[in-house]
Amino acid sequence: MRFFSRLLDRLWAAAASRGAVRMLLLVSFTESVFFPLPPDLLLIPMALAARERALRLAAICLAASVAGGVAGYFVGMFFMDVAGMPIVRFYGLQEQYHAVKEWYDAYSAWAVAVAGLTPVPYKLCTLTAGAFRIDFITFLLASVASRGLRFFVIAGLIYLFGERVRYFLERRFDLVLLVTLVLGVLGFMALKFLN
């Protein structure tokens, strides 16, 4: 717990620095391929520091994250053996790799939407989506929908409620992601039903 607390303190300090937006872009992009920390950890303090920019920061986060997802997709498609599998092994995600294959068999690229909203490593889904040749447009739409929902819910809460959200998110971050996941799944089910 002490490590997590120190890490959060460093992220709060980084969020106030001059290069914070560039750092948010870099973290959002690389987290989609190989970096271990989610961009939410920077988005939250940056949005709290400038509430009027919260939605703009979420859009930056989304754009960089989806761009990273596209990079991960093509790494998986063309370089899975050389670059993708070493990343999977580095994070000890071999079992999850096979589970994601089953998700794709059952749900196509919409499995990416689940990963985009939950603590399931998004990088695993971007790499495997390319490796398993999931339809690129569906992959892209699922990524935009899930990552957008995740980042804009966080930014929207901060925009509306400010500092009170900081303490709630620090203590209940997993709960926020779970609620977002449930809402996302209900949204996808509604879209499927309407079609």
Q: Is pLDDT above 60 for 61?
A: yes
Q: Is pLDDT above 50 for 170?
A: yes
Portion of the chain with pLDDT greater than 90, in percent: 24
pTM recorded for the entire structure: 0.77
| Gap between the Cα atoms of 34 and 171, Å rounded | 26
Average confidence score pLDDT of the chain: 80
Q: Residue 78 sits in which domain range?
A: 2-194
The total of structural domains in the chain comes to 1
Predicted pLDDT at 7: 59
Query: Where does the pLDDT of residue 70 fall: very low under 50, low under 70, confident under 90, or very high at 90 and above?
Result: very high
Q: Is pLDDT above 80 for 128?
A: yes
Q: Is pLDDT above 80 for 191?
A: no
Instruction: Give CB contacts under 8 A, 24+ apart, made by 153-156.
Output: 153/180, 153/183, 154/40, 154/43, 154/44, 154/47, 154/58, 155/43, 155/47, 155/54, 155/55, 155/57, 155/58, 156/54, 156/55, 156/58
Query: If you average pLDDT over residues 70-78, what whole number do you get?
Result: 95
